[in-house]
Amino acid sequence: MKFNLLILLILTFIIPSAFAEGVSLGATRLIYPADKSQTAIKIFNNDKKNNFLVQSWVTDKQGNKVDDFIVTPPLFVLNANTDSVLRIVYAGDKNKLPNDREELFYFNAKVIPSLSKEEQELNNSLLVSITTKIKLFIRPNDLNSEASDAAKTLACQLNGKTLQIKNTSPYYVNMVNVSINNKEVSKAETIAPFGNVSIAIKSSGSEIKYSFINDYGVQVNNNTCKL
């Protein structure tokens, strides 16, 4: 009797929007206004020959699946050289969400390539699925500042060998390339609303610069943190 051995490897990426050759998401983050019934994201298959199976779900910051979110379609075949729209609906009690700050979740999508008939007939066929996740922010309606200003209101403090950065806004701030006197001390930091982070540093300085990622996934450079 002949058996086919199918090996499944699951590779997980935190931020990238590309899954496999020719397959990509239409954004690197999602903003879900709390007063809207749903949000959506496009997924593209630019591969001219291969179909992919796509499975999607939402998790919390600890990686646990959140059943209050419904993704439609949750599982479908994305045909070669086509695109589709994934719709994300929060079906839980919105009164349980904070109304004075953003809440962070993660949108996950797993892409599994199809196997040709020839590949299915081979022993030890290798099937690689790739899961990617992007940040999903639920944003209350009446926050007292603009999201575009959040990263510009950061407050920094140097305490010996520690750089402390405080986020005084109700928005998540995604910092990249944090430097002191042009020497990088951190590649990336995500600071929760009204939260702070501490970064170990080797030497002090007087000029703290950073870049941040805005709502559109664009890196905004040359920002100075107030001491």
The region of weakest confidence among 82-86, 101-105, 127-131, 174-178 is: 127-131
Q: CA–CA separation, 40 vs 92, rounded Å?
A: 17
Is the pLDDT at 11 greater than 50, yes or no?
Answer: no
Confidence of residue 20 (pLDDT cuts 50, 70, 90): low
Question: Which residues of the chain does CATH 2.60.40.10 include?
Answer: 11-139, 147-224
Any bridge partners for residue 180, and if so which? 183, 208
Confidence of residue 104 (pLDDT cuts 50, 70, 90): very high
Summarize pLDDT for 64-73 with one digit per residue, the tens.
Answer: 999 999 999 9
Q: What's the pLDDT at 1?
A: 38
Q: CA–CA separation, 200 vs 226, rounded Å?
A: 18
- How many residues would you count in the chain? 227
Fold of 147-224: Immunoglobulin-like (2.60.40)
Q: Are 192 and 172 in contact (CB under 8 A)?
A: yes
Q: CA–CA separation, 50 vs 21, rounded Å?
A: 10
Q: How many other C-beta atoms are found inside a 10 Å radius of the C-beta of residue 133?
A: 20
Q: What's the pLDDT at 8?
A: 43
Which architecture does CATH list for 11-139? Sandwich (2.60)
Confidence of residue 114 (pLDDT cuts 50, 70, 90): confident
Is the pLDDT at 19 greater than 60, yes or no?
Answer: no
Summarize pLDDT for 134-176 with one digit per residue, the tens.
Answer: 999 999 999 999 999 999 999 999 998 999 999 999 999 999 9
Summarize pLDDT for 31-85 with one digit per residue, the tens.
Answer: 999 999 999 999 999 999 889 999 999 999 999 999 999 999 999 999 999 999 9
Summarize pLDDT for 189-222 with one digit per residue, the tens.
Answer: 999 999 999 999 988 888 999 999 999 999 999 9
Is the pLDDT at 6 greater than 70, yes or no?
Answer: no
Q: Are 124 and 139 in contact (CB under 8 A)?
A: no
Q: CA–CA separation, 172 vs 192, rounded Å?
A: 5
